[in-house]
Amino acid sequence: MGLSLSLLSKLGIPGVSSMYTDQIYDRFFKEKNIKEFQEFHTAFIDLCKSFNDVMPGKHFGAPTIEKVEDFYERWKKITDEKERREQLITFVKDEVKEYKTDDNAVIMAGLIVPAAAVMVKNTAQNVLPVKQFKLHLVPNFVFVPTITMLALAGVQLVQVSKKSRS
């Protein structure tokens, strides 16, 4: 269903893409009868969280609180409901950005970590402080994928934290 509606909106069938924006506006902003910035900010963060929940594998970041507050000051002065909706959708399209991860770092980690895990496991048998962990009892078919998954998760976390700081 989503694909067919997406194709219809790409073809320019009127009303299809506006149907979604109307639902977003009504659900997160109109029904809540927002009167203060704190209510608006909470609704905006809920919207961004909803985007992240609905679209697995993608992560969308909210703009800074200063940008949201500046927009809110302009938005609350608008009295026409249709104009408010259009301004909000434009703001969301312009300011809510998808975090892009660096695929090269993930690929490199996926290629290097399994071999490094096997080497670390083999050399750990000869290093006294690490020898007490008894890594030789853990089979390679358990150890290598576990370490690889942890490394890939670490790469993703580092990338997301870098993006959130910038």
SS3 49: helix
Please state the domain extents for the chain: 2-98, 103-165
What is the residue-level pLDDT of the chain in tens, covering all 166 positions?
A: 444 444 434 444 344 355 566 787 888 887 777 888 998 889 888 888 887 787 766 777 788 889 999 999 998 898 888 898 889 888 888 888 877 767 788 899 999 999 999 998 888 888 888 788 888 888 999 999 999 999 999 988 888 777 666 5
Residue 33: CB atoms within 10 A of its CB come to: 7
What is the separation of C-alpha 65 from the centre of its chain, rounded to a whole number of angstroms?
A: 17
Four-CA torsion 109, 112, 115, 117, nearest 10 degrees: -40
What is the separation of C-alpha 29 from the centre of its chain, rounded to a whole number of angstroms?
A: 21
* C-beta of residue 44 within 8 angstroms of C-beta of residue 88: no
Phi and psi at residue 61, to the nearest 5°: -105, 140
What is the pTM (predicted TM-score) of this model?
0.54
